[in-house]
Structure 1
């Protein structure tokens, strides 16, 4: 698979709503998988699943776990680069603003550099981020993918 993306190329997903249901699936996923008994397991209240608890921590309501936005960025990169992204890549993110219920979130990436390494493989470095529908950055980071 040959991918030609020049420095400065930007790509993004369509806007998706951060729904309460999406947020809940993520919170329940880890204890449910760990139990592996066919039932859904929950954990004690957190800022990610309990409005009252989130308000007690100074938030207006629940916020999405940051890994959801990281996963959406990773999904974008897999869509663009294919399975090679999962094999020879790095992704690093930082959560800089909370993502609240019903916010519209867009995963984005911009190619910074394209170089050929000593093995003759094309290496792309990228800035990555999630933003809301007004363009405010919520998650920021960087990625690298080595193409065969």
Structure 2
């Protein structure tokens, strides 16, 4: 099997994942637990991410996922696509443009926008990244980069 082409214009799409209520809850509770950092598991108070009535009071139709979930899914897909180079020298910036609701199917995607000589025997791959739902609506957008060893970029 040949290695994937990272030429500008190449697109990659991960499989769809369901945004479950349990997954949404984990992010809220994990944040509160991490902030306290005392070894005790915390249950987060009501937010737009874990409480339907609170979300509705804020003008939403239901709870929505924390944006970091889709960012993490994009980051994980970058790792799957490019390997550990993402950890060593990667960049990622995202913006949330539509809410993600419970049971919505979400897919991280990336497109190689550029491949440039980074000047240190590596190629900098500039990426356009996004998450889309199963209807093709874009939910999260962003830019990213990864540096891979390779021939000098053209």
> Is the structural similarity TM-score above 0.5?
yes
TM-score by length of 2: 0.90
* Offset of residue 89 of structure 1: 1.2
Question: Which residue does the alignment assign to 1:90?
Answer: 91
Question: Which residue does the alignment assign to 2:13?
Answer: 12
* Offset of residue 69 of structure 1: 0.2
CA distance in 2, matches of 1:39, 1:120: 47
CA distance in 2, matches of 1:56, 1:117: 49
- Aligned Cα root-mean-square deviation (Å): 1.4
* Count of paired positions: 147
CA distance in 1, matches of 2:121, 2:41: 48
* Offset of residue 37 of structure 1: 4.5
Gapped regions of structure 1 (runs ≥ 5) = none
Question: Which residue does the alignment assign to 1:60?
Answer: 61
Deviations 1:60-118 (A, max 9, x none): 11000000000000000000111110110110000000000000000000001111122
CA distance in 1, matches of 2:52, 2:67: 17
Contact 1:122 1:146 in 2 (8 A): yes
TM-score by length of 1: 0.94
Gapped regions of structure 2 (runs ≥ 5) = 150-154
CA distance in 1, matches of 2:93, 2:8: 19
Query: What are the equivalent positions in structure 2 for 1:1-148 lying under 5 Å apart?
Result: 4-148=5-149
